[in-house]
Amino acid sequence: MSTAIVRSPSDDRDLDIVPETGCLSIIVLGASGDLAKKKTFPALYHLFKQGFLQSHEVHIFGYARTKLSDEGLRDRIRGYLSKGEDGESEDLVNFLHLIKYVSGSYDQEEGFVLLDKEISRHESLRNIQVGTSRRLFYLALPPSVYPSVCKMIRSYCMNQSDLGGWTRIVVEKPFGKDLSSAEELSSHLGELFTESQLYRIDHYLGKELVQNLLVLRFANRLFMPLWNRDNIANIQIVFREDFGTEGRGGYFDQYGIIRDIIQNHLLQVFCLVAMEKPVSLKPEYIRDEKVKVLQSVLPIAPEDVVLGQYDGYKDDPTVSQDSNTPTFASVVLRIHNERWEGVPFILKAGKALNSRKAEIRVQFKDVPGDIFKCQSQGRNEFVIRLQPSEAMYMKLTVKKPGLEMSTIQSELDLSYGQRYQGVQIPEAYERLILDTIRGDQQHFVRRDELKAAWEIFTPLLHKIDGGEIKSLPYKPGSRGPAEADELLAKAGYVQTHGYIWIPPTL
């Protein structure tokens, strides 16, 4: 568990955020789909329970092709909202009462004209002057329908923002499959909406310990002089799952682990780890520094890549029998700038592995003139564990208790579940939806940032798609291909033997 960041009014002034009140309409497109049921509506409900969404201001509209009544949609999502609750709470009843459903096509005007009529009716009931309300459209939809849906929103559902209101569009990944498709999508959206209206959501940027990265790096004198090539040997950013594609094989086979996890989630974390200090916390300054890091990444060399595919992946009937799609990838990125020249960043992600975790592992260089002869035990490491059991710990060498002068690896540990007992960790989607309502784009992907990210990975992805780089087999429940550990060693990572971090218990 962790603690949420509480903003003061002065923080909002620093970010140019003006607190707003008045009518807010949240429209969830794809309301009958899995993403909406499992993530979007629960996030909205939790914001409502915490008082961030007020019943006298907000109304929520579901829109999808499925023929449903208002009560039909409420019945579909009720079970996802009431998890952990005994019975049906007053909060749940009041929240469900805010939801209205509209059925319609994603590419025909009739449905969107009806949707606009329902939103306008809600706004008029609040006695709001036309154009002064706020409209937030959340696209819980496959990217293939983004162009038609956005065109319909632009033509029939826009708020008249010149009167003081706004319209904002939240789009989910994947943002294209390579550079050209991403640019095509960006161009289409850019013709319809300004960049300030678009919120490209990557839920990893809403995770508590990811949000903590800038605070750790730039609010602590301890780290500032150490965070460079003089002291750091290598940095790993790791995402591991202990299950396979499980029913998503057909979808996953179109994308693979690099498009699904590395090019977006892990690369966003990479930016926050490697970027320079921004001028201030204003979103554009932070995003400027992220773009600079991405533009400094050297082309990926074939020898810096290991791909894997777990045995049994092709047993899924929706997966091609000659598929080369990687379910595991380890990629070494190198940054050509003064701070990071020569420091390998290892981005590693995989499915059907021996554990489930996501972490950042910063390994420091050996101690020069080691008088204790303890380098064989391992190097100092700073580990930020993103999930599960959120924690930060510094792995270091200490004297082993006893009469002998011998050393052992131990840690300085900040485990959130122990330190912040009883504090509720906000879900990533809660934080990001709230940021969208507030107009804070810090944790969303800007168009030039997206372009720079695809420029890094598109050449590699085209080689994989063309069969030039093969996926190596590995057994489910293993660490992945043995060649990945060899790549890690070649990049300079020194394995610690005999030390295991154990999350402290309460």
Confidence bin at 266 (pLDDT 50/70/90): very high
- How, if at all, do strands 344-350 and 391-399 pair? unpaired
Structure tokens at 201: 């959501």
What CA–CA distance (Å, rounded) separates 426 from 429? 8
Q: Tokens 């590699």 map to which residue?
A: 460
The pLDDT, as a whole number, for residue 84 is 65
Q: What percent of the chain has pLDDT over 90?
A: 55
Distances (CA, A) of 373 to 86, 230, 299, 366, 395: 58, 22, 38, 11, 17
Side chain identity at residue 104, one-letter code: G
Q: Which domains does the chain have, with CATH numbers?
A: 24-172 (3.40.50.720), 205-371+445-491 (3.30.360.10)
Helix H, strand E, coil C: the string for 17-61 is: CCCCCCCEEEEEECCCCHHHHHHHHHHHHHHHHCCCCCCCCEEEE
* 430, 462, 487 from 307: Cα distances, Å: 34, 14, 11
Question: What confidence category does residue 2 fall into, taking pLDDT thresholds of 50, 70 and 90?
Answer: very low
Quote the strand ranges of 425-469, DSSP E: 444-445
pLDDT of amino acid 61: 95
Highest-scoring range by mean pLDDT, 1-5, 90-94, 351-355, 406-410 = 351-355
Nearest in space to 442 (alpha carbons), one of 196, 109, 179: 196
Please name the helix (run of DSSP H) or strand (run of DSSP E) that holds residue 72, with its range, or none: helix 70-81
Q: Could you give the CA distance from residue 351 to residue 331 in angstroms, rounded to a whole number?
A: 15
Closest CA to 170 of 188, 143, 191: 143
For residue range 305-320, list pLDDT tens digits in order.
999 999 999 999 999 9
Using one digit for the tens of pLDDT, what is the confidence trace for 167-191? 999 998 878 889 999 999 999 999 9
What is the spatial distance between Cα 480 and Cα 202, in angstroms, rounded to a whole number? 26
> With 0-12 CB in 10 A as exposed, 13-18 as middle and 19+ as buried, what is 292?
middle
SS3 of the chain: helix, strand, coil, percent, to 5:
40, 20, 40
Rounded to 10 deg, the angle between the 267-274 and 447-465 helix axes is 130
pLDDT at residue 1 in the model: 35
Report the chain's mean pLDDT, rounded to a whole number.
87
Q: What is the largest CA-CA distance in the chain?
A: 83
34 — pLDDT class (breaks 50, 70, 90):
confident
Q: Is the pLDDT of residue 16 over 60?
A: no
User: Residue 240 is encoded by which pair of tokens?
Assistant: 């591991």
List Cβ neighbours of 338 (8 Å cut-off, separation of 6 or more). none
Q: Which residues contact 220 (CB under 8 A, 6 or more apart)?
A: none
Catalytic residues: 265
**pLDDT band per the 50, 70, 90 thresholds, residue 202:** confident
With bands split at pLDDT 50, 70 and 90, how would you rate the model's confidence at 404? confident
Q: Which residue is it, tokens 């960006």?
A: 186
Q: How many CB atoms lie within 10 A of CB 460?
A: 23
Residue 71 confidence (pLDDT)? 92
Task: Label residue 229 by pLDDT band (50, 70, 90).
Answer: very high
DSSP strand pairing (198-201 vs 407-415): unpaired
With a cut of 80, say whether residue 422 has pLDDT above it.
no
Q: Are strands 58-64 and 232-240 parallel, antiparallel or unpaired?
A: unpaired
The predicted pLDDT at position 127 comes to: 65
Look up residue 399 and give its two tokens: 């004297």
Instruction: Give the per-residue pLDDT at 326.
Output: 95
Considering the entire predicted model, what is its pTM?
0.88
Closest CA to 63 of 175, 145, 140, 147: 140
> Three-class SS of residue 85?
coil
- The answer to whether residues 503 and 389 touch, using CB atoms and an 8 Å cutoff, is yes
